[in-house]
Amino acid sequence: MPVLEISDLRVGFGKGAQHSVAVKGVSFSIGRGQTVALVGESGSGKSVTAFSILGLIANAGGRIESGKAIFRQAGREEVDLFDLPQDALRKIRGREIAMIFQEPMTSLNPVMTIGDQIAEVYLLHENISRSEARLRAQRMLEAVRMPEPQRRMQQYPGELSGGMRQRVVIAMAMACKPSLLIADEPTTALDVTVQAEILSLIQDMQRETGMSVLFITHDMGVVAEVADEIVVMRHGLIVEQASCTELFEKPSEPYTQALLNAVPRLGSGSPEPLKNSAAVPVMEVRNISKRFAVKSGLWGNVHAHVHAVENVSFDLMPGETLALVGESGSGKSTTGRLISKLLESSEGSIRLRGHELSNLTPNLMRPHRSEIQMIFQDPYASLNPRLQAWDLVSEPLKIHGELPEAERRRIAAELLEKVGLHRAYLERYAHQFSGGQRQRLCIARALSVKPKIIIADEPVSALDVSVQDKVVRLLQDLQASENLSYLFISHDMAVVERISHRVAVMYLGEIVEIGPTAQVLHAPKHPYTKRLLSAVPIPDPTARKERQVRTAADIPSPIFKTGTRPKSGALVEITPGHLVRQMVGNTTSMAL
């Protein structure tokens, strides 16, 4: 018998003329120990379905208009979750049905320690003392392979990396060994090595406890790796439902076929390296480093430093895309912030079209800022919700050009059309756009001051595959027409291959391999590059493999005592333009 059986679920929002139906008669079931993947584009009704199962949809302004959700607990009488009062639902939530959310920071209390938050789950559902709850919380952190679990118990969410926060959320979800786990995009924002670890962790716990999993995602590589059954949703309806192998081999619906065709696949080809050897680099980065002080004691004495970026050098040519890849904490985003002068480097030189930027004050840097623009991962967080689209897009012009409002509106209209948005959208606010449209707004804003370089920090990782495909095409078209240079920071190797001329692989703040995209991704030489690529999920269920998973506990610390620094080998050119860092003794570079 299924653990959960959903029948004719219908969920609506609003009333009267504002009434809309987000889920329109959805039915599916999840067997004991089975993983069912719920897939589809944004707005298809995936998350609305999950929130309805947990009785949380009212918090989002929705209501269940019809349907049943029969939940069968081991050794207990079956219940209809939609008929239960909130008190009865609260006893099931967290204990029998648990949920992992996409963004762990929003589901963790920023002012409570990690230990207290996990212990709270035990105190809520079990009759035990606080000391016993904390002991179990620490054991749970050990079970999810958290490095230094005893120290993490005393820390706050803001002190942890994204991968560590996701492990905390999993620890909370798994604390009471639930019968059903709902995982809503649990690995979307994580790099491939952390993603591999999280998926392995969920599968291990599933094998140990017989837990069922409802896995909500738009990453078809992850679906191919974990799912037994796949339910495809579109516009609130189920358009196709089949076993994982069957759906990938013979999708019957055109929508499913289009969804699978939009999935970027490693090995689909990359742009040719630029051939103009006479071109002058638009940016030259030489030996930049960034260290953050670690303080302790009553007087806040500095006793160590976090070596976030260490001795990084590269050139960026006109019209070129250089990708920075590596796992969380490798220094990718910090490097992007250093060359845009959002952070000051501890050492090194940054030259933009021959001008040295490293020692410029904010006032002297201001004339150069328009030449380097950024696109961030979360477009909604980087758009002012109080400004209309024309004002958002032309905001840099207001800062750098002091143009009159009428001229800014004219330029904004042209920019919207350039990125594929209608000029009729000029008066809309950010919340009135979809995720893909918001990212197009951010691209338009970056283009407004005619930059030479755009730093794109995970610009498509949170987007559906079909929207992701359109945004990547847009970036390539704009590069060709405007001769833009991109520093493309990403954890999605298939997207990196598609858009990048060259790839630089970062590990513990260093570039360990750099070269033409095809050589780095298909003939890697450094052990870390090989490990990174081995963790990439393949969108083919027949190619499931035991990926090499390295736990966070195995990653060396980037913290060194003041006055010391990591040992590092030289970057050696093995073929023209392809450089690999030599390994030196038993150092951090060897801990792979």
β-bridge mates for residue 55, sequence order: none
Using the predicted structure, report yes or no on whether residue 219 has a pLDDT greater than 70: yes
Structure tokens at 8: 């004719």
Task: Examine the domain organization and report whether 97 and 20 are in the same domain.
Answer: yes
Q: Which helix (H) or strand (E) holds 310?
A: strand 301-316
Q: What is the pLDDT averaged over residues 228-241? A: 95
Q: Measured on CA atoms in the order 332, 334, 338, 342, is the torsion positive or negative?
A: positive
Pairing of strands 180-184, 212-216: parallel
Output b/e per residue, 53-81; b: 16+ Cβ within 10 A.
bbbebeeeebebeebbbbbbeeeeeebeb
Average pLDDT estimate for 390-419: 90
280-304: average pLDDT: 86
Task: Give domain status of residue 530, yes or no.
Answer: no
Residues 457 and 444 in one domain: no
Looking at the structure, do residues 134 and 72 belong to the same domain, yes or no?
yes
Query: Is residue 460 predicted with pLDDT exceeding 90?
Result: no
Average pLDDT over all residues of the chain? 87
pLDDT of 469 reads 84
Q: Which of 269, 286, 323 is nearest to 485 (CA)?
A: 323
Outline where 101-191 has alpha helix (H): 104-107, 114-125, 130-143, 149-152, 162-174
- Judge whether residue 267 has pLDDT over 90: no
Is residue 11 domain-shared with residue 129, that is, in the same domain? yes
Lookup: tokens for 459: 């610009």
Residue 355 token pair: 């001008």
The verdict on residue 503 lying in a domain is yes
Round to whole Å and give the CA distance between 359 and 461. 34
Residues 206 and 337 in one domain: no
Q: Do 251 and 287 sit in the same domain of this protein?
A: no
Average pLDDT score over residue span 27-55: 91
The residue type found at 464 is: D
Asked whether the predicted pLDDT for residue 352 surpasses 50, the reply is: yes
Q: Which residue range(s) make up the domain with 207?
A: 4-261
Tens of pLDDT, residue by residue over 534-543, are 888 888 888 7
pLDDT at 586: 41
The reported pLDDT for the residue numbered 585 is: 55
SS3 content of the chain, % helix, strand, coil (to 5): 40, 25, 35
Q: Determine, yes or no, domain membership for 567.
A: yes
Residue 481: CATH number of its domain: 3.40.50.300
Q: What's the pLDDT score for residue 543?
A: 77
Fill in the amino acid letter for 496.
Answer: V
Looking at the predicted structure, is the pLDDT value of residue 587 above 50? no
> Among candidates 200, 355, 224, which has minimal Cα distance to 284?
355
CB 375 within 8 Å of CB 440: no
Cα dihedral sign for 296, 301, 303, 308? positive
**Phi-psi group of 237: left, alpha or beta (phi > 0 → left; psi -120 to 50 → alpha; rest → beta):** beta
**pLDDT score of 18 more than 80:** yes
| 211 and 313 part of one domain | no
pLDDT band with cut points at 50, 70 and 90 for residue 71: very high
Q: Is residue 124 included in any domain, yes or no?
A: yes
415: its two tokens: 């920019």
Q: Which residue has the higher pLDDT, 26 or 439?
A: 26
Dump the DSSP string for 379-415. TTTTS-TTSBHHHHHTHHHHHHT---HHHHHHHHHHH
Residue 80 lies in a domain: yes
Residue after which a domain boundary falls, among 229, 261, 293:
261
Whether 554 is covered by a domain: the verdict is no
In contact, 237 and 27? CB cutoff 8 Å: no
Whether 276 maps to a domain, the answer reads no
- The pLDDT of residue 325 is 94
Q: Is residue 91 part of a domain?
A: yes
* Shared-domain flag, residues 30 and 73: yes
Instruction: Clarify whether residues 89 and 214 are in a common domain.
Output: yes
The CA-CA-CA angle for residues 182, 71, 243, to 5°, reads 60
In this prediction, residue 548 has a pLDDT band, given cuts at 50, 70 and 90, of: low
pTM (global) more than 0.85: no
Give Cα separations from 539 to 34, 224, 265, 542 (angstroms): 19, 5, 7, 9
Domain co-membership, 289 together with 417: no
Q: What is the mean pLDDT of residues 258-272?
A: 86
Q: Which letter does DSSP use for residue 590 in this model? A: G
Strands 502-507, 510-516: pairing is antiparallel
Q: What is the DSSP string of 182-204?
A: EEESTTTTS-HHHHHHHHHHHHH
Same-domain pairing of 312 and 322: yes
Residues 568, 515, single domain; the answer is yes
Considering its fold, how many domains does the chain have in total?
3
